Amino acid sequence: MSTYYICGAISAKTEKEMQANLLKFDRVALELRNLGHEVINPPELDENKKNRALIGTPEWVEEWTGCLHRDLKIIRTRKPTMYVMEGWEMSLGANLELLEAEDLGLTICYQ
Least confident residue range of 22-36, 50-64, 81-95: 50-64
Within 1-111, residue ranges assigned H as helices are 15-34, 42-45, 58-78, 92-104
Please give the pLDDT value at position 58. 73
Q: In angstroms, rounded to a whole number, what is the distance separating the alpha carbons of residues 84 and 6?
A: 6
Tens of pLDDT along 42-80?
999 876 555 454 566 677 777 888 889 999 999 999 999
The model's pTM: 0.89
Query: Does the structure show a pLDDT above 60 at 39?
Result: yes
Tens of pLDDT along 3-22?
999 999 988 878 788 889 98
The answer to whether residues 80 and 43 touch, using CB atoms and an 8 Å cutoff, is no
Q: In angstroms, rounded to a whole number, what is the distance separating the alpha carbons of residues 16 and 77?
A: 33
Residues 6+ apart with CB under 8 A from 53: 15, 18
